[in-house]
A and B are shown apart, each in its own frame.
Chain A
Amino acid sequence: MTSPPNALCFGDEFPANGAPCLVHVEAHGLTMIVLSDQDAGERRSESVPFSELTVSAGGLDHDQLVATWKGATGERTLYLKNPHVIRAFRQAAPDHLTISLERAAEQVRQVRQRHRIVWSIVGGMLLIVVLGLWFGSDLLVELAVDRIPIEWEQKLGESAYHDFLARQEIMNEGLAVAAVKEMTHRLTAAIPENPYTFEITVVKSDVVNAFALPGGYIVVFTGLMKKAESPEEVSGVLAHELNHVLQRHGLERIVKQLGFTAVVSIVLGNQQGLGGVMKQLGVELMTLKFGRAQETEADLTGLQLLYRAKINPNGMITFFQRLAKKDEGRVEWLSTHPMSSSRADRLEAEIAGMPKQPPEPFTFDWTKVRASLGAHSGGSP
């Protein structure tokens, strides 16, 4: 027949964590039966008229109704949480208590509303940050990259460059080296306000590849030169790679890989801590792949560079289209630079839009250059 307790009563003779008790709301006031005394055989019951009660909101979340009064054996504090009891209390309470009850209820409402407001503000801010990162990450990355000095970029590229070259057979002289130097010179001379000192190395290898590292370090494989039918084709690749450097694409990728913290630390000006991380990453630069947007940018700016250097820009397209047809899967450069038809169409459209100008020939004989590399005359194998 014992009902479960619905309130906790605190007072001098009760335990510190409160005595569980059963509270009934009656017309004149409250009746409280202390249940912890059951074992002792006696059940203490106390009735308090409403006139002796003061009420407030209490508890950890301010969601409990606290009623206090002066009992015969000292002060009593009752914590009510059961919604049925609280409702009955509010209905039965006389006018003088209604004001304090409303004040307590208002307090609970205020606390809840404050929680809601604070959490919605925090939620909103989180959403803004997430959306901002989602849509504005490229902008943030650009902002961060702009703040990295060129010397830093050079140091970063340099270590990766020397690491790579230490394991390769380098060509220091010969027709091929002279030809690549001339092409590079023609191209770099056409770059307005060039902050980089480009360093180009020809590596003896049958791999058909060429790549650029941040800071202006460019590697051309002899395999690529053997496959090219004209110097314009090699110039096309060089123009594309030079523009990866000029547009700082490598740095953008690194900063993206480093993530948000790095971006924030660069934007806010702390470049010291970042240096170590970037040096570590420098080793991984070889495997760096550029994004589609970066490839398109390097294509278009590369074309413009070829045009300014008075080199026939068609070589850029024909070379890769030809390679894509014949050597698909074997040409390393194509695995990172797939020549899709849309990419070719875009380049062709761009060339068509440029005013016509007679290209200036190179001073070297391309057939001799290729022959010096051991390529069969008359084109690709």
Chain B
Amino acid sequence: MKSEVLYPGAFPMVRVELAEGEHIKAESGAMVACSPTIDIESKMEGGFLGALSRKFLTGEKFFFQTLRASRGAGEVLLAPTVPGEIVVLELDGVNEYMVQKDGFLAGADGVTINSQMQSMSRGLLGGEGFFILKMSGKGMLLLNSFGAVHKIELKPGQEYIVDNSHLVAWSTTTTYNIEKATSGWVASFTSGEGFVCRFRGPGLVFIQSRNPGGFGAWVRQFIPVAE
């Protein structure tokens, strides 16, 4: 399985080359085009209950689509819904990532997707909800972001502070605490940051250069309100 990000930048697309018999699972609706040798199947990853929990707990789609090169080798073009970069990660069986609910685009079949419960403070204040996706296993993982993706590399013990709405994915070897952005409660919110995550290495943290919630609020002011 080989992948290549086409048109990097705001409106990228990924080309995944599949050998005969290989398959990839993608977020439902992510397929843009494919070779005639590819079969598209809808699949509830993790069984019915797993799919149900993913749908209701993380807001991810109930079905993933499986793109299978069952009638010979071929290629698949995939793209996310929102404008933003695509990141290709290679999971090696020990590296695991937590991914925010809209971040998953596609993964090789060896990649396992689980919804995992967060702690109370992270769930309440982290802005990701109580359940997020945990990616483990082996193989290629494609994530998408809103805006550009920036990778933060943390050495053991190194700290970094991230606005919670800009998170895309982070290694499970990192830890983080939710804190107020400034020392005072009022200033925390008037500064526009509210809560932030203090990450502590080692590991990687992927952040997105735009905040989907903030963008939504910005667009909303231009939508005429019916009286």
Contact = CB atoms under 8 A, between A and B. Distances in A.
Dominant secondary structure of chain A at its interface with chain B:
mixed
Interface stretch (B36-44, B55-63, B72-80, B90-98): B90-98
Contact of B175 (A5, A8, A62): A62
Interface of B: 92-95, 98, 117, 119-120, 138, 153-156, 170-176, 201-204
B203 A20 contact: no
Contact of B94 (A7, A58, A115, A122): A7
Contact of A5 (B93, B154, B170): B93
Contact of A16 (B117, B120, B153): B153
Contacts of B176: 60
A18 B172 CA distance: 11
Contact of B156 (A17, A20, A60, A68): A68
Contact of B173 (A18, A115, A118, A122): A18
Nearest to A61: B172
A35 B95 CA distance: 13
A60 B95 contact: no
Interface size bucket, A side?
20 to 34
Interface string A16-39: 111010000000000000010000
Contacts of A198: none
Given A115-B119, A118-B119, A119-B120, A20 B173 contact: no
A124 to B, nearest CB: 13
B120 A18 contact: no
A212 to B, nearest CB: 32
A355 B172 CA distance: 80
Interface of A: 4-8, 10, 12, 16-18, 20, 35, 58-62, 64, 68, 75, 77, 79, 81, 115, 118-119, 122
Contacts of A18: 94-95, 171, 173, 202-203
A349 to B, nearest CB: 51
Nearest to A22: B94
B151 to A, nearest CB: 8
Contact of A122 (B120, B153, B154): B120
Contact of A77 (B93, B153, B156): B156
Contacts of A122: 120
Contact of B202 (A7, A16, A20): A16
19 contacts: A4-B93, A6-B94, A8-B95, A10-B173, A12-B155, A16-B154, A16-B155, A16-B203, A17-B95, A18-B171, A20-B94, A59-B172, A59-B174, A64-B173, A75-B156, A79-B202, A115-B120, A119-B120, A122-B120
